[in-house]
Structure 1
Amino acid sequence: MKGRSALRQKDLIDDGPYAVYGASGIIGSMSTFQNGARYVAVVKDGAGVGRANLCSARTSVLGTMQALIPTEMVLPEYLLHLIRAMRLGDGFSGSTIPHIYFKDYGQRLVRYVSMADQERIVGMLGSIEDQIDILHQQNERLDTLVKSRFVEMFGGMKYESVPMGHLVAEIVAGTNVGGKQRPLLKGEYGVLKISAVTKGVFDASQYKVVEDVSSIKMVHPRKGDLLFSRANTSEMVGATAIVDKDCACLFLPDKLWRIDPTDEVNTVFLKALLSSSRMRREISNASTGSSGSMQNISMTKFRSLPAFLPPLALQQEFAAFVAEVDKSRFNLLKTYGSIIALFRVLFP
């Protein structure tokens, strides 16, 4: 069954011992509680939409969360894995803030097994999730290593400030077009979603199928292209990724740009520069949009961002270091793929 909540974070006064969950975990407390037993909470509005977490007994959730209360014959942990296997965040969005509600998935058929089998599966999946957590931690250490190297090589040196436009030969925008959330069939084309770059690594699985492309000028992602998200939330606007392979059946949306650097700029260096904390702040500050909606940066403002241009040889030295780190990252991704394949055997 599902629970209901109209609780708002601003209404919390931390006047009791009972925890209240939001999208990021426990965000406060109150003197009463909504749910007496353990349950699963799904983010139904805003950032992280579709994400599910297990919540303790005698707690509550904000109104942006949906509480799913298991029956007596369903373990809360098993329900959690069922919900996560449904990947609820895929394909659900709103015009400004993404939404997903119980009516969107409440009638889906799911795998039900005996309590004994639930306990066995939960144990196996717990071990898998532990391995995934370890891989995520290792990947984060690699990210930190690259960022530290960037600061070490470029952070302490004084370069003349130049506009970002001096580093960029051309900015190519995609096409504003809608699509359907389903797998591509042979001969079809898909438009990328901004989620294809938000994690900093190109994800070719993030697309929507466009059934009629006869009047569309398609910009296909090519191996080595630097993609830039010119529209997103204030935290994610300016996300970048380098395409790792040619994708002739995909094309860019209007919210993704292809940024072509000049001959004096290395693509890997430019991505690191755009991903640096200082530059992300500059991008966020230069972006516009009302509260709760997409933030957007124009090409004019992007070209005017304050940047710097170290010698090409130094940029290439940094890119060679990143290439070595990426070899370790590739091994992590192979291991991660094997673990996810095992997960999907248990939850097809």
Structure 2
Amino acid sequence: MKKLIDICDIQYGYAYAFDSAYFTENSCYPPLARIRDVKRGYSETYYSGGYSEEYILASGDLLVGMDGEFNIARWKCDGALLNQRVCRLLAKKGTNEEYLRFAMMKVLKEIERRTAFVTVKHLSAKELNKLQLVVPDLSTQNKVAEILSRLEKIIGLRRQELKRLDDLIKARFVELFGDPIKNPKGWDVVKLSECLERIDNGKSFTCDSNAREGAFPAILKLSAATYGDYRPYENKALLDEKQFVESVEVHRGDLLFTRKNTPDLVGMAAYVFETPEKLMMPDLIFRLVTNERMTPIFLWQLINNREFRPVIQGISGGSAKSMSNISKERLKNIEIICPTISEQKKLEGVLDQVNKSKFINQLL
């Protein structure tokens, strides 16, 4: 184990080097590498004021974002400026920089997990200097970095394929039903309550911080339904298997809805095509049970539709800006398009093929 400061030099952006009055969208000036830009590797904001040469970045520099969602990534363009709350890591002799990147990814993920319920996440320079990393000899670092780099490329290709499949589903939805807000095809418009049999609540449990092993009972994390697809591996093991509550177990065919989340992610839905046994819904997730007027797959795609998202976000409330909440009553009263069941079921054939492909990709 070694401290981060012992294996690399850490350069911080100067707090007073950049005046917000000089922020511009004029690309004739150098881009400003801010927190949100670290992961994507480029910036659309430029700086027209004075700056020191020591803060100029080169393509490939290793940057760490120290606020919000902690992350580390390589910068993708020359001539950008190192901004406040972003730092550059320069590996010292005896340290493989790619190994350093992967080791830091692991450490930052652990910090992110520990600060999951902190409203404003912040990593100070003092804390960063003291971070401890596992650092084997250089030969081992080289081998580990090579293996992880290859895996990272494979994962990237798989994610691109999954994204393409998701886009195909969305395109098919619009082709069949049109814009769900403008309703150019003249579908019936009804309250959601007219298409629901009931809305089931999840439960709150005291859990382990780690995922379950085998078929031990577990509670889903909010992230299991946050991004539009069902992720059963996002779970936390119960402390005692006697805590298992059968009534909130997730089953194949369920439609899960995130009733509480950040403002941009609240009210997302995930359809359960397949699921392991003894996984339960937390109290932050509803199960929407549709009646004979609507298929759960159609409602799933409608809720997550880009044009329809403002309707869902518009019914969320709560005093904390970091977390929004949607009540059952408000959800039941939203107005939605309601095509005939025969039209709704046309979407299922496409989804069967797409999800087989997605399942294969996830296995690979």
Asked whether the equivalents of residues 45 and 98 of structure 1 are also in contact (C-alpha less than 8 Å), the reply is: yes
Q: Residue 287 in 1 paired to residue 316 in 2?
A: yes
3-state SS, counterpart of residue 186 of structure 2: coil
Matched to 2:346, the amino acid is E
Deviates more, 1:69-78 or 1:185-194: 185-194
Q: Which residue is 2:295 aligned to?
A: 266
TM-score by length of 2: 0.77
Matched to 1:112, the amino acid is P
Q: Which residue is 2:137 aligned to?
A: 113
Asked whether the equivalents of residues 43 and 51 of structure 1 are also in contact (C-alpha less than 8 Å), the reply is: yes
Q: Residue 162 in 1 paired to residue 190 in 2?
A: yes
TM-aligned CA distance change 1:281 to 1:251, over 3 Å: same
Matched to 1:24, the amino acid is D
1:237 equivalent among 266, 290, 304 = 266
Asked whether the equivalents of residues 194 and 255 of structure 1 are also in contact (C-alpha less than 8 Å), the reply is: yes
Matched to 2:119, the amino acid is T
Q: Residue 135 in 1 paired to residue 158 in 2?
A: yes
TM-aligned CA distance change 1:226 to 1:18, over 3 Å: closer
Q: Which residue is 2:181 aligned to?
A: none
1:179 equivalent among 187, 207, 210 = 207
Deviation of 1:100 (Å)? 6.3
Deviations 1:129-160 (A, max 9, x none): 33322222222111111111101111142112
C-alpha distance in 2 between matches for 1:203 and 1:135: 16
C-alpha distance in 2 between matches for 1:121 and 1:213: 37
Asked whether the equivalents of residues 188 and 211 of structure 1 are also in contact (C-alpha less than 8 Å), the reply is: no
1:151 equivalent among 143, 163, 174 = 174
Deviation of 1:317 (Å)? 1.6
Deviation of 1:292 (Å)? 3.9
Deviations 1:244-289 (A, max 9, x none): 4444433222211111111222111110111111221111122123
Number of corresponding residues: 331
C-alpha distance in 2 between matches for 1:272 and 1:151: 10
C-alpha distance in 2 between matches for 1:207 and 1:118: 31
Asked whether the equivalents of residues 221 and 235 of structure 2 are also in contact (C-alpha less than 8 Å), the reply is: yes
Asked whether the equivalents of residues 189 and 211 of structure 1 are also in contact (C-alpha less than 8 Å), the reply is: no
Deviation of 1:213 (Å)? 7.7
TM-aligned CA distance change 1:119 to 1:151, over 3 Å: same
Matched to 1:171, the amino acid is I
Match runs of 1:38-49 below 5 Å: 40-46=62-68, 49=69
Asked whether the equivalents of residues 229 and 240 of structure 1 are also in contact (C-alpha less than 8 Å), the reply is: yes
3-state SS, counterpart of residue 332 of structure 1: helix
Deviations 1:28-52 (A, max 9, x none): 4551355878754344443xx2432
Identity of aligned residues (%): 23
TM-aligned CA distance change 1:244 to 1:321, over 3 Å: closer
C-alpha distance in 1 between matches for 2:57 and 2:275: 52
Asked whether the equivalents of residues 173 and 256 of structure 1 are also in contact (C-alpha less than 8 Å), the reply is: yes
3-state SS, counterpart of residue 133 of structure 1: helix
Deviation of 1:118 (Å)? 4.0
C-alpha distance in 2 between matches for 1:321 and 1:270: 15
Q: Which residue is 1:342 aligned to?
A: none
Match runs of 1:1-348 below 5 Å: 1=5, 2=10, 4=12, 7=15, 11=20, 13-14=22-23, 17=30, 19-25=32-38, 26-27=42-43, 28-29=45-46, 31-32=51-52, 33=54, 40-46=62-68, 49-55=69-75, 59-63=81-85, 65=86, 68-86=89-107, 87-88=109-110, 89-90=112-113, 92-97=115-120, 103=127, 108-114=132-138, 117-155=140-178, 156-184=184-212, 189-211=217-239, 219-290=248-319, 292-335=321-364
Deviation of 1:330 (Å)? 1.9
C-alpha distance in 2 between matches for 1:173 and 1:12: 49
Deviations 1:72-127 (A, max 9, x none): 3223322112223454344541243556678599555524231x554454444434
C-alpha RMSD over aligned residues: 3.4
Deviations 1:220-266 (A, max 9, x none): 11122111111112221112112244444332222111111112221
C-alpha distance in 1 between matches for 2:359 and 2:260: 29
Matched to 2:175, the amino acid is E
Asked whether the equivalents of residues 175 and 216 of structure 1 are also in contact (C-alpha less than 8 Å), the reply is: no
C-alpha distance in 2 between matches for 1:94 and 1:309: 38
Deviation of 1:315 (Å)? 1.3
Deviation of 1:318 (Å)? 0.9
Deviation of 1:308 (Å)? 1.4
Q: Which residue is 1:343 aligned to?
A: none
C-alpha distance in 2 between matches for 1:18 and 1:245: 45
Deviation of 1:185 (Å)? 5.4
Which has the greater radius of gyration? 2
3-state SS, counterpart of residue 237 of structure 1: coil
C-alpha distance in 1 between matches for 2:333 and 2:104: 45
Asked whether the equivalents of residues 180 and 209 of structure 1 are also in contact (C-alpha less than 8 Å), the reply is: yes
C-alpha distance in 2 between matches for 1:22 and 1:12: 18
Asked whether the equivalents of residues 188 and 337 of structure 2 are also in contact (C-alpha less than 8 Å), the reply is: yes
Asked whether the equivalents of residues 263 and 321 of structure 2 are also in contact (C-alpha less than 8 Å), the reply is: no
Could you list the runs of 5+ residues in structure 2 that have no partner in the other structure? 179-183
Asked whether the equivalents of residues 12 and 84 of structure 2 are also in contact (C-alpha less than 8 Å), the reply is: no
Asked whether the equivalents of residues 103 and 133 of structure 2 are also in contact (C-alpha less than 8 Å), the reply is: no
